[in-house]
Amino acid sequence: MPLTKTLDNLTEKLEFAAYRPRILIVDDQVINIQALHQIFASDHEVFMATSGQSALDFCRKTPPDLILLDVIMPGMDGLEVCAQLKQEELTADIPVLFVTAQNDANEESRALMAGGMDFISKPVNPDVVRARVHTHVTLKLQRDLLKKLVFTDPLTGLANRRNFDQAIAREWRHCQRNGKSLAVLMIDIDCFKQYNDTYGHQQGDTCLQAVAACLQAGFRRPHDIVARYGGEEFICLMPECELQSAISKAASVLRTITDQAIPHSSTKVSDSDIVTLSIGVAATVPGNQLSIDELIAKADQKLYEAKQAGRNRVGA
């Protein structure tokens, strides 16, 4: 199926699920906010800000799907607000539609140069503004879905290798700036080839999904990343985490998987007939000793040692 058709189908599913797009209206005149609120309140979550700074603060905490932004405001005007939004990773992709009483070609050009997606003149025509908002929200949802497809493993729903590579680079810089430890857990399903040989690849996929769900549930901190690294191998990133804490988390993961008691009659793990994991753990303060590649390689080496020691254990 063509990608555009796939995105259209996914967008329709979101709409059928009664997704209510989140719109932020920014205007220093309350009467203008009220007019736009009446247009969108029935089928959108509508939020309001009466200054540029309050709009920025809102977007940094809870990014909306779209912003309707007045150009002329006291203090920080709409052009400056938009420029700042486009400079920050968290808010750069939010579509901004400028709403202004100015009807000047130069003003429209400045708004678009600042990063605006569209330009709507006051007084707004409800049908026109509703149609333009619908168009840009739909495009935003499609971009978000495309990003999810690109950065998500389709079988398990976890982050994929590309996603992880970007995340570790980002968290490496964060931990380096703050002098914090960054931990990596390399995780492998024991004797997974034998599992597939015994139960078949379809059941193997079900096993991978079950393990992935346990891992996802086990790492709840906002910046922890759980990714499928390849085949039956997973990798977990734990920013601001010391080695001993990461080892404790790995031991907890082993217990969780054991509690699932997924049958594995052909495992080579001693005294076991269920699915088990082996985990390698490594941690460093970025910039002190190891590089990113060396940190991952160390976790992989500790995983190998855990395998060699009999599997179903943590190596650190």
**Element holding 30 (H helix, E strand):** helix 30-40
Cα–Cα distance measured from residue 274 to residue 190, given in angstroms and rounded to the nearest whole number? 10
Cα–Cα distance measured from residue 139 to residue 95, given in angstroms and rounded to the nearest whole number? 9
Distances (CA, A) of 107 to 52, 112, 277: 18, 9, 61
Is the Cβ–Cβ distance between 238 and 183 less than 8 Å?
yes
In the three-class reduction of DSSP (H, G, I as helix; E, B as strand; rest coil), residue 7 is classed as helix
Cα–Cα distance measured from residue 302 to residue 278, given in angstroms and rounded to the nearest whole number? 9
Residue corresponding to tokens 């100015």: 102
CA dihedral for 132, 137, 140, 146, sign (positive or negative): negative
Mind telling me the catalytic residues? 232
Cα–Cα distance measured from residue 315 to residue 44, given in angstroms and rounded to the nearest whole number? 50
CA dihedral for 100, 104, 110, 116, sign (positive or negative): positive
> Where are the strands (E) in 172-284, listed by range?
182-189, 225-230, 233-239, 277-284
